Structure 1
Amino acid sequence: MNLSTIKTPGVYINEVNAFGNSVVPVATAVPAFIGYTPQAMYEGKSYTNVPRKITSFTDFQAIFCLPDPPAPADPAKQYDPEYYLVAQDSQPTTGDYIMIGTTFYSILPDPNTIYYLYNSIKLFYDNGGGDAYIVSVGPYGEPSGSPATLGDQVVNPNVQLNQLTDGLALLEQEQEPTMYICPEATLLSVDNNSSLMKAMLLQSSSMQTSVSIFDIIGGNDPNPLNYMDDIDAFRNGTGSNGLDFGTAYYPFVGTTVMQTSDIDYTNLFGGDVTQLQPLLSPPDNPNATVDTIIANIQNPPGGEALTVSQYNNSLLTASPTYGTIIAAVLQNANVLPPSGGMAGVITVTDNQVGPWESPANTSMGDVISLPIKLTGAQQGDLNVDAISGKSINAIRFFNGLGILIWGARTLDGNSQDWRYLSVRRTMTFLEQSSKLAANAYVFAPNTKNTWESVKAMIGSFLNDIWKQGGLQGASAADAFSVECGLGSTMTSEDILNGFMNVTVKVAIVRPAEFIVLTFQQQMATSS
């Protein structure tokens, strides 16, 4: 209360704040997904190229998924990949295949129909995901009508680099996201994927609010002999800037995100059942029931067609071969980039402990297989690279334990400061929380009272983090220090120029990545 404004006799109350300002911790696990969605429309408003926050998969469905038609029609397919069975002269040495009769058939997708964002969102929420941002850069494109070439990387020409980078740039206006994820980046060419990763690292490092989680081209079908070629291409493609704000996981993961009901005959041969019929009812061993079902699909009796799911169930009953084909195609479609699931794992870890806990030595929900089972020696080449220093986190299978995330590093593997993902994310958490709280003192008098208030505010916040286990040290004094004042962090010239400098030192908890047990024999002693 300003006493000079009191002019009327009476009693006045002057309330004095008993408690200073406090630091409100920022959210640490808010991924931003960039990619292609079935649609982007809600209540007549387009959300294409509009960063939209969601809190559940139901929110995602309401805005970015196609509405279901009225019953009794089947629900709308939100992701509709197309696959071809291509006969081979001998057993294929790469890719998925099945044997029908005496012939090997490679299972090859139409590359124009392969997308990862929808299933990655499902994998995120199946692993405990919460708040997230979605940047839809457009709907799915048209199929090509032909299969990919056996052995070639799947490149979807409908996935455009400029659309993904434009979607990424939209996030420059959003301070809340703490992870950038673009699952469909692996559907770009190697060069375009490199450009996108560099843009993500540059934006992450310049904003200092998020890390970029990368998948690796070739991780869906690695060759056991030369998979390191894919690793080398990835390391060469990430550049040298902002590496401490990036992390990568390898390989892809086999999931149960898609169910049997998600794949049917419309996903085979572009929906042309005439190409499917010879496989289910070959001339040398015809299946009359299959022939009847396919005839009804093409020309419904009485003009009233059954639903796709009804015809599909009929084919599953009539032909064991059809069931084998659907299972094989489903297995291929369920191999996904791990980034979406990792975002869910990080969310759970942060909520249960904090960002200082490494999201490792834990399993990923819905994951049942890996396209390659790395050994400890093979992981060594991923975890530590003497030339580039770019560490890649492995997802591995262990007998008796299952599939575990077995790495906790950033791409900056040679840095003692920023080698570990938990250290990078903890520092970002501390920095951003303190920065937002310090906004309250912008334009405040640059005096000792203000300096002490700032020190007390940040010190109280760091003390709470230390008590939670986020900082190491036997005492608070060992864990952190906060300095602000004339002669310690500022000069008289700083004050004249309007600068208030605060120096914060913290002892971040680091993971025990290498545990060495030393055993030594000793002589027997008498009891």
Structure 2
Amino acid sequence: MNSKNIQTPGVYINEKEAFGNAVVPVETAVPAFIGYTPQAEYEGESYVFKPQKITSFTDFQAIYCLPTPPAPAAPVQQYSPQYYLVKQKLQPEKGDYILFNGAFYSIVPDPNTIYYLYNSIRLFYANGGGDAYIVSTGAYGTPSGKPITPGDQIVNPNVQLADLTKGLRLLKNEEEPTMYICPEATLLSLDNNSTLMQEMLLQNSEMGTAISIFDIIGGRAPDPIMYTEDIANFRNNVGTQGLNYGTAYYPFIGTTIMQSTDINYTNLFGGDLKQLEPFVNPASAPDKTAASILEKVASGELTPNQANNALMNCSKVYSSIMKHVLNDANMLPASGAMAGVITTTDNGEGVWSAPANTGIVEAVSLPIKLTSKQQDSLNVDAISGKSINAIRFFNGMGILIWGARTLDGNSLDWRYLSVRRTMIFLEQSCQLACRSYVFQPNNANTWSAVKAMIGSFLNDIWKQGGLQGATAADAYQVECGLGSTMTAEDILNGIMKVTVKVAVVRPAEFIVLTFVQEMAKSS
């Protein structure tokens, strides 16, 4: 209270703040997903190219999923990949196939109908996801009506580099997201995928608020021997800028996120019953039950789901085909699941804990089972230093995330993902807290207040295990003042400098046990 304002006799109360400002920890696990959605509209308002925060899968459904009709109508397919059976002269060397009437048929998708974001969001929440941002780049494109050549990489021409980069740049206005994920980036060509990854890392390094989680083209169906070419392409294409803000996981994961109720006969041959009939009602072995079902479908007496259930019960061939289709549709990039795993690790242990040596919910298979020797070249690359985290199968333990490195594998400072993310967390928390001191007097009182505020925050982090050191002095140091961090010229220019030194916890990635034999001793 200013005594100059006192004009009337009486008793006045002057309250003083007993506690200084505190650093409020920022959120550490808020992914931003960029890609194509079933729709992007809510209450008549478009959400295309509009970053929107959601807190649950229910929120995602409300804005980005097609409306579900009331019962007894069948639920709408939110994602409808199209598959074809293509007859082969010989047993296919690549890709999935079935043997029918003595001939081999490859089961291959229409590339224009393959998308990953919807199921990646489901994987994110299945693995413990929470708050997230969605940047919808639009709805799904038109099917081509043609399958890809068996064994070819899937390139979806409906997935446009311009759309994804536009969505990425919109995140420049959002400081809260801490992870960028483009599940459909692997559906681009190699050149376009390279451009997108480099733009993501550049934006990460400029903003300093988020990392990017990458998947690798070729991780969906790796060649057991030539998969190293996919790794080499990734390392060559990801660039050299901002590598400590990126992390990559290999290979894709086979999941159970899509169930048999999510697909039906309309996912085969574009729903053309004439192309399906030779498989369920072949001329060489007519099936009256299957023929009757197809007639009822054509006449509209059966819904797609009813027809699907009926065909599954009467035709072993149809059941086998749908099983193969479901397995293929469930092969997904790992980035969405990793965002959920990171969220769970952060909430349970802290951002300083490595999101590794843990399983992935809904993951049941891998397209390639890497050995320790094969992982050697992924984890450490002598030429580029770009580390890739492996997802591996271990007998008795199942599928585990077996790596926690950034792409900057040669850097002693930024080799580990947990270190990079911990520093982002500390930097952003302290930066936001210091905003309250902007325009305050640049004097010893302010310096002391800032040091106390940051020191108290770091002391809490140290007690939680986020910083290493036997004492607080070993774990961190905060300096701010004339002669230590600032010169007289800095003060004249209105600049206050604070130096923070922290000893960040690093994961025990390599545990070495030393065994020495000792001579027997008399008892």
Letter in 2 for 1:174: E
Alpha-carbon distance in 2 for matches of 1:463, 1:242: 30
Letter in 1 for 2:176: E
Residue of structure 2 in register with 1:498 after alignment: 494
Residue of structure 1 in register with 2:334 after alignment: 338
The answer to whether the 8 A contact 2:352-2:421 is kept is yes
Alpha-carbon distance in 2 for matches of 1:385, 1:3: 70
Q: Deviations over 1:254-281 (max 9, x none)?
A: 0000000111110000100111111122
SS of the counterpart of 2:234?
helix
Alpha-carbon distance in 2 for matches of 1:293, 1:328: 22
Structure-to-structure mapping, 1:73-472, within 5 angstroms: 73-300=73-300, 305-472=301-468
Alpha-carbon distance in 2 for matches of 1:43, 1:325: 40
Q: Deviations over 1:343-374 (max 9, x none)?
A: 00000000001110000000000000000000
Q: CA deviation at 1:107?
A: 0.9
1:524 to 497, 520, 523: 520
Q: CA deviation at 1:101?
A: 2.8
Q: CA deviation at 1:525?
A: 1.0
Q: CA deviation at 1:319?
A: 0.4
Q: Deviations over 1:271-293 (max 9, x none)?
A: 00111111122211111111111
Alpha-carbon distance in 2 for matches of 1:122, 1:474: 42
Q: CA deviation at 1:39?
A: 0.4
SS of the counterpart of 2:9?
coil
Alpha-carbon distance in 2 for matches of 1:385, 1:29: 28
The answer to whether the 8 A contact 2:258-2:330 is kept is yes
SS of the counterpart of 1:343?
helix
Letter in 2 for 1:393: N
Q: Deviations over 1:193-248 (max 9, x none)?
A: 00000010001110000000000000000000100100000011111000000000
SS of the counterpart of 1:248?
strand
Q: Deviations over 1:177-200 (max 9, x none)?
A: 000000000000000000000010
SS of the counterpart of 2:107?
strand
Q: CA deviation at 1:72?
A: 2.2
SS of the counterpart of 1:9?
coil
Letter in 2 for 1:493: E
SS of the counterpart of 1:180?
strand
Q: CA deviation at 1:129?
A: 0.2
Letter in 2 for 1:395: I
Q: CA deviation at 1:458?
A: 0.1
Alpha-carbon distance in 2 for matches of 1:386, 1:222: 23
Alpha-carbon distance in 2 for matches of 1:309, 1:424: 48
Q: CA deviation at 1:318?
A: 1.0
Q: CA deviation at 1:9?
A: 1.4
SS of the counterpart of 1:135?
strand
Alpha-carbon distance in 1 for matches of 2:388, 2:317: 40
1:514 to 486, 499, 510: 510
Alpha-carbon distance in 1 for matches of 2:104, 2:428: 56
Alpha-carbon distance in 1 for matches of 2:14, 2:205: 47
Letter in 1 for 2:99: M
Alpha-carbon distance in 2 for matches of 1:120, 1:206: 27
Q: TM-score, normalised by structure 2?
A: 0.99
Alpha-carbon distance in 2 for matches of 1:493, 1:272: 78
Alpha-carbon distance in 1 for matches of 2:7, 2:237: 72
The answer to whether the 8 A contact 2:23-2:433 is kept is yes
Alpha-carbon distance in 1 for matches of 2:315, 2:151: 30
Unaligned runs of 5+ in 2: none
Kindly tell me the number of residue pairs found equivalent between the two proteins. Answer: 523
Alpha-carbon distance in 1 for matches of 2:168, 2:101: 49
SS of the counterpart of 1:379?
helix
Unaligned runs of 5+ in 1: none
Letter in 1 for 2:150: L
Alpha-carbon distance in 1 for matches of 2:18, 2:417: 39
Alpha-carbon distance in 1 for matches of 2:418, 2:2: 49
Alpha-carbon distance in 1 for matches of 2:101, 2:393: 33
Residue of structure 2 in register with 1:37 after alignment: 37
Letter in 1 for 2:15: E
RMSD: 0.7
Identity of matched residues, %:
70
Alpha-carbon distance in 2 for matches of 1:353, 1:440: 30
SS of the counterpart of 2:478?
strand
Residue of structure 1 in register with 2:472 after alignment: 476
Alpha-carbon distance in 2 for matches of 1:281, 1:74: 26
Alpha-carbon distance in 2 for matches of 1:391, 1:104: 39
Alpha-carbon distance in 1 for matches of 2:464, 2:123: 29
Alpha-carbon distance in 2 for matches of 1:212, 1:481: 30
Alpha-carbon distance in 1 for matches of 2:31, 2:509: 26
Q: CA deviation at 1:27?
A: 0.1
SS of the counterpart of 1:34?
strand
SS of the counterpart of 1:411?
coil
Q: CA deviation at 1:70?
A: 3.1
SS of the counterpart of 2:422?
helix
Alpha-carbon distance in 2 for matches of 1:472, 1:324: 55
Letter in 2 for 1:341: A
The answer to whether the 8 A contact 2:297-2:303 is kept is no
SS of the counterpart of 1:368?
strand
SS of the counterpart of 1:212?
strand
Letter in 2 for 1:219: G
Alpha-carbon distance in 1 for matches of 2:234, 2:458: 38
SS of the counterpart of 2:104?
strand
The answer to whether the 8 A contact 2:69-2:76 is kept is yes
Alpha-carbon distance in 2 for matches of 1:478, 1:72: 66
Q: CA deviation at 1:468?
A: 0.2
